[in-house]
Chain A
Amino acid sequence: MRPRTATAISAAVLVAGWLLLTLGGFVSDLFLPPPSQLWDALVDLWQEGYKNRSIWEHIGQSLIRVLVGFGTGAIVGTAMGLLMGYFKTIDSLFAPFIEFLRPLPQLAYLVILIIWLGIDEASKITLLFLAALPVAAVAARDGVRNVSQIRIRVAQSLGAKRSHIFFYIVFPSALAEIFTGARLAIGIVYATLIASEIIAGTNGIGWMIFDAGRFLRSDFVFIGIIIVGIMGIAIDRLILMVETRVVHWAGKQ
């Protein structure tokens, strides 16, 4: 049997199971909506939106937050990481804060951010900024540290000065790890965003899932989850595409 067939069969079994459970009446529609109900809900969302906002508005809100939070956090974090990789003193000074911030559950400090910055965009974007920063910083720092010594020596023998070595050798060399860090960071940012919309949101796709849940509209919840999943995959793929084009030499010898 070819692998593709196995996947198809597996998926078919899942769908069959779903149909059996719902149409056979083994589970209530609340637990697991039948396909027809999901379809109706999807059409409804498409046409009427959710609570007076179109579905695209909600998706757009979430995406903008992700992009702004990730963008600022990744850029500042990468800059910090490059400095930390280059200068041991800067590394020693910043390291405790980065090491503390990185494993700190983001939602925990959302609470204090809301107290300081209010419940609107500012606290959420700051949260996402802080979620992305340590990951980007560590990736950039490690990228600088792992630059091949032999390439630096060659460049020195060719007469390159420190600034040349940074722009032409260290930075391109570190890009591979910087991008790996970026993908990790955006994953974290995305999860944090959805979580923050659920806990303290008034719009956005995460909030929609939560709100639908409150009203026991599990069909909307399901659709919301699927949308969130697709968005997540799309974002990851986008960064991967950029990465393959920019860091075109990665993995090749």
Chain B
Amino acid sequence: MAKKKELDIRATLLGLLAVGVGVLAWQMIGTLGLVPKALLATPAEVWAALIEILHEGYRGTTLFENIAATLGRCILGFLAAVALGVPLGLWMGISKMTEASLNFMVQFLRPLPPLSYLVLLILWFGIGDFSKIMLLFLTAFPTIATASMAGVRQVNRKRIDAARSLGANSRQIFHHVLLPGALPMIFTGLRIAIAAAFSSVVAAELMAASNGLGWMVFSASRNMRTDIILLGIILLGIFGMVLSRTLVAIDTHMIHWRGYD
């Protein structure tokens, strides 16, 4: 037990060391002028940009506003996809007829790169937030629905039979056997879906937005503000990790039986 803790501490320290060395090298490259100033802002400059934006905002938008816009769109689209995708996926897993009627549409949507139909969505719904949230919904939905369907399908038949012979009715079997049994796969799908949604929201903001972290990066590139670009990238990376870690935490917390079968 103690040995594992030792290893974990060592791993964390090595990780911090690697990051520290990386940041130092980055600063050195800038300070020593190894790369033209216009191309690379140093960590110090990025930090200064952060302070600047916190105080003065960026082109009329506060940092908070941009973060909220990006995260908000992402989470909204994602939640909508969960609300529709999980029930539909479960239903398709349980009912072969439902699957036959609907799955082909889901499966055609799945490999479709989201930005390809963003163009269409903008044609239909204009350039505002609605088309973006619709984009995120469509990005996340097929993965979640497919994962839910697969999840309920792979529930061990023996468990269903055991519940039946204990006298459970269909609703109870769904609630206590099928749904929990499908959860691990559903959550795996959720994790993939949120990463895809987050990527899509940034891409959409790069293309057609007036706020958000993606917009900020895009706008800064027009003005060659590499410090703000890098700040945006770092913030996006951090929030990407936060979203994914949150989902992992919910997953581990809820699905305490993972790994035991």
Contact = CB atoms under 8 A, between A and B. Distances in A.
A191 interface: yes
Given A105-B214, A224-B116, A3 B99 contact: yes
B137 interface: no
Interface in A203-241: 206, 209-210, 212-213, 216, 218, 221-222, 224-225, 228-229, 232-233, 235-236
Q: Determine chain A's interface SS by DSSP, over half rule.
A: helix
A96 B115 contact: no
B146 interface: no
Contact of B233 (A9, A92, A104, A218): A104
Contacts of A24: none
B249 interface: no
Contacts of A206: 113, 115-116
B18 interface: yes
Contacts of A225: 112, 116-117, 120
A10 B202 contact: no
Contacts of B190: none
Given A1-B97, A107-B202, A225-B112, A218 B196 contact: no
Contacts, number: 176
Interface string B13-57: 011111100100000000000000001100000000000000000
B102 interface: yes
Contacts of B15: 92-93, 95-96
A233 B40 CA distance: 39
Q: Interface extent on B, as a size class?
A: 35 or more
Given A3-B97, A115-B226, A228 B112 contact: yes
A172 interface: no
Contacts of A116: 39-40
Q: Which 7 A-B pairs have the closest CB atoms?
A: A103-B240, A232-B111, A3-B100, A92-B14, A105-B202, A194-B113, A6-B100
Given A88-B7, A106-B203, A187-B111, 7 more contacts: A7-B101, A96-B15, A97-B19, A105-B214, A184-B192, A210-B119, A236-B111
